[in-house]
Amino acid sequence: MSYFDTGKLRQASFIAILLLLGYVLFRELQQFLPAFLGAMTLFVIMRKHMRMLVKKKKWKPARAAAVLMLLSFLIILIPIFLVVSLMTAKISEAINSSDDMVSSFTIFLENIESRIGTDFINEETMKELGQRIAQLIPTVLGATFNTLTTLVIMYFLLFYMLMSTRTLDYLVYKFVPVQDDSNVDRISDEVTNMVMSNAVGIPLTAFLQGVVGLIGYLIIGVKEPFFWFAVTCITAMLPIIGAAVAYVPLTIMLFVSGPAWKGFAMLIYGFGVIGLVDNIFRFALQKRIGNIHPLITIFGVIIGIDLFGFIGLIFGPLLISLFILLVKIYLKEFHKPRQTLKVTKKQ
């Protein structure tokens, strides 16, 4: 008499081996996770266009993939490279003159302290601040190198994703553990809507804030307004604080350099106009493109950046939306509603 089911034992052993190998592979390849997520984002955006070029235009898959990747490089990456190069040059220049910046900031604080009668910062803290600013150069250079490596791997993965569009669609339908194909379509549509909403909505909102900020910088007479336009566009994509990371330091610099009216004008314009653009357009565009609740966007971005880095701006809200969608699908697939008793009035 056999006390063990050898078939189930072999199955359990096989699953254990798969989980172990999967854990080892994930641990060693997790540094490439941002590249994979970036490739997935572009794949979701390009998938319909890839099908159109291959089926309707009768292009070869390799040619269609190459053209789409080239267009994405021209539309997305070249502007990013220009902004990053501008930012890197300005940051290096600022770091080289960090002593002057620290001394100017010290004078500004001393003026405030003399008026209020409270000490905000001491000499030792200012010295430490200057040292930390001087340490930013290796960090900036290292981040730039890592970004270039991620982009190369991202496009390498994207090419093979586009070439295997039909295979990926088949795998999704085969391995998603639901019986109703309409639920698979709901998951696919949800992923597409979320990716489009965040991949298009967030940069577009940031660009609009940058344009509004640029108008104010030109009117107020800010030095190097296009540099601050780039800073505003980048910081506007951050959750909660957003473009305030750009116009608050700029306001302090204007108060330090004078005249004071420029600082007051920048303070009012930043919180009253640039911040208002964020509140109006960010949620309006994302809700219009993907019908996303604002709370999903806020908490999703916070979670996503902690998990995935910058690409978490897209995949953080996606995780929350998918979780909610899967709960609904589970209730539809496996949960039987309780029967309610019908109460009839006595005649």
Tell me the pLDDT tens digit for each residue of 77-104: 777 677 666 666 666 655 555 555 556 5
Long-range CB pairs of 275-283 (<8 Å, 24+ gap) are 275/242, 275/243, 275/244, 277/205, 277/208, 277/209, 277/212, 278/205, 278/209, 278/236, 278/242, 278/243, 281/204, 281/205, 281/208, 281/209, 282/201, 282/202, 282/205
- What average pLDDT does range 24-42 have in this prediction? 84
Of the pLDDT bands very low, low, confident and very high (cuts 50, 70, 90), residue 129 is: low
Q: Quick one: tokens of 287?
A: 């809700």
pLDDT digits (tens, 9 = 90+) for 270-316: 888 888 877 777 666 666 665 666 677 778 777 877 777 666 777 77
Give the pLDDT score at 135: 55
Torsion of CA 323, 324, 325, 331, to 10 degrees: 110
Whether the ω angle into residue 79 lies within 30 degrees of 0, i.e. cis, is no
- Flag whether the pTM goes above 0.85: no
Q: Which of the four pLDDT bands, split at 50, 70 and 90, describes residue 341?
A: very low
